[in-house]
Amino acid sequence: MIRAAFYDPASKQLRSGGPELIEEWDRSQVGTIWVILENESPEAERELLSSRFGVHRLAVTDALRDRHPPKIEPFADNTFILLKGLDADSTSLDFQTIQLALFVGERFLLTRSSGHSVSTGRLLTELTSGAIPPDTAPAGLALLLCRTVADRFLPLLLAVEQRLEEMEDEMVMKPSDELLAELLRQKSDLKKVLRILQYHAQVFSSARSNTPVQLGGHDHELTDVQEQLDRLLSLARLYYELTDDLMNGYLSISSHRLNQIMQTLTIVTVIFVPITFMAGIYGMNFEFMPELGFRYSYFILIGAMVTVVAAILLLFYHRGWLGGPPRG
């Protein structure tokens, strides 16, 4: 599908439509046009980009790839911006991405996405409704689109903040394997967000240092995109570190509880080992055991067992293993 928005400075009107507006733009010699390519065949996209608008073949090849790192690359007649944005169905950290390519010329803006772009549709609606001035330059539209792509990551990150608070309470009250699995998934997803935002932040930081000709005069818009990416990157890094801290805290709590269980089992074992030994000695079927002929042997043995158990419990209490204050 090819959509277009053509602004004619002579009539000061913005018209939206399809490929027919490209012909009108070509004849006008002064108007500006925004052409949006979605779900077109690669052959048709390549033909339009290369033959009609003179986009460099290497830039076209990068734009049509399924996967490519974000970049900003200046050419003689246009600047190529490649972004990685959220797809239309992404509303949580379990997201998928699309490739969004922008070609910014003096009189045109071309955008091509590997799937449906919510950001492109939102910006086009604002432009045609008058929320954005119709005479906005192609470079200005391109940077507004870059800002819109970045803004879509914000709700995902803010949702993580609320969930982190809930998981912290759950970790203390009722830790579970499901909570640990969710923390692992969240950490992995945040790492993916961090990688994407770092790519974009580096690209736009470089563009601010060496601004392409086609983006010249739009320093404020370029700075705005860069600052938003920096804020998002800081949030993503903070939530990644908090998730990692929660994982370590969960493992520490689990280890502490395991130590408590092992301590209890150790106490039980230590108590029963000596009395089991004593019972084993006098349970042997030897004929000559002098104690067996003594009238009070049984009571003496039971008393010895009770004494040993009491002594062990007193020792453990003295060391604080049974809840008493540790001494010495």
What was the pLDDT predicted at 253?
Answer: 78
Q: Which two tokens stand for residue 309?
A: 């158990």
| Model pTM score | 0.77
Q: Mean pLDDT over residues 82-106, rounded?
A: 87
Three-state DSSP at 102 gives: strand
Domain ranges of the chain: 2-252, 257-318
pLDDT band at 195 (very low <50, low <70, confident <90, very high): very high
> What does the pLDDT look like over 111-157, one tens digit per residue?
998 888 899 899 999 998 889 998 899 999 999 999 999 999 999 89
Beta strands in the chain (DSSP E): 2-8, 13-17, 32-38, 71-74, 79-86, 97-104, 108-113
What was the pLDDT predicted at 267?
Answer: 80
Among 3-7, 215-219, 285-289, 306-310, where is mean pLDDT lowest? Answer: 285-289
Percent of the chain with pLDDT over 70: 97
Question: Domain 257-318 maps to which CATH number in 3.40.50.300, 2.60.120.10, 1.20.58.340, 1.10.630.10?
Answer: 1.20.58.340
CA nearest neighbour of 109 among 154, 141, 147? 141
> What does the pLDDT look like over 70-84, one tens digit per residue?
999 999 889 999 999
Query: Greater confidence, 326 or 310?
Result: 310
- The answer to whether 95 touches 133, Cβ cutoff 8 Å, is no
- C-alpha torsion angle, residues 9, 11, 17, 23 (rounded to 10): -70
CA distance 126 to 84: 22
- The answer to whether 9 touches 31, Cβ cutoff 8 Å, is yes
Evaluate if residue 21 carries a pLDDT over 80. Answer: yes
Among 61-70, 173-182, 212-221, 316-325, where is mean pLDDT lowest? Answer: 316-325
pLDDT band at 95 (very low <50, low <70, confident <90, very high): confident
Distances (CA, A) of 86 to 2, 194, 234, 270, 322: 21, 14, 19, 60, 56
> What does the pLDDT look like over 28-72, one tens digit per residue?
888 899 999 988 888 888 888 888 888 888 998 998 888 888 999
> What does the pLDDT look like over 231-252, one tens digit per residue?
999 999 999 999 898 888 888 8
Sequence-separated contacts (24+) of 201-208 with Cβ below 8 Å: 201/226, 201/229, 201/230, 201/233, 203/70, 203/71, 203/72, 204/72, 204/146, 204/229, 206/72, 207/72
Evaluate if residue 24 carries a pLDDT over 80. Answer: yes
Please name the helix (run of DSSP H) or strand (run of DSSP E) that holds residue 282, with its range, or none: helix 219-282
Please name the helix (run of DSSP H) or strand (run of DSSP E) that holds residue 120, with its range, or none: helix 118-129
What was the pLDDT predicted at 250?
Answer: 82
Identify the bridge partners of residue 35 per DSSP, sorted by sequence position: 4, 110
Query: Greater confidence, 222 or 41?
Result: 222
CA nearest neighbour of 110 among 55, 56, 148? 55
Beta carbons within 10 angstroms of residue 233's beta carbon: 20
What was the pLDDT predicted at 289?
Answer: 75
CATH superfamily of the domain spanning 2-252: CorA soluble domain-like (3.30.460.20)
What was the pLDDT predicted at 46?
Answer: 87
Evaluate if residue 92 carries a pLDDT over 70. Answer: yes
What was the pLDDT predicted at 323?
Answer: 65
Q: What are phi and psi of 210, to 5 degrees?
A: -130, 85
Sequence-separated contacts (24+) of 212-215 with Cβ below 8 Å: 212/72, 212/74, 212/79, 212/104, 213/74, 213/79, 214/74, 214/78, 214/79, 214/104, 214/105, 214/106, 214/138, 214/139, 215/79, 215/104, 215/139, 215/142, 215/143
Average pLDDT, the chain: 86
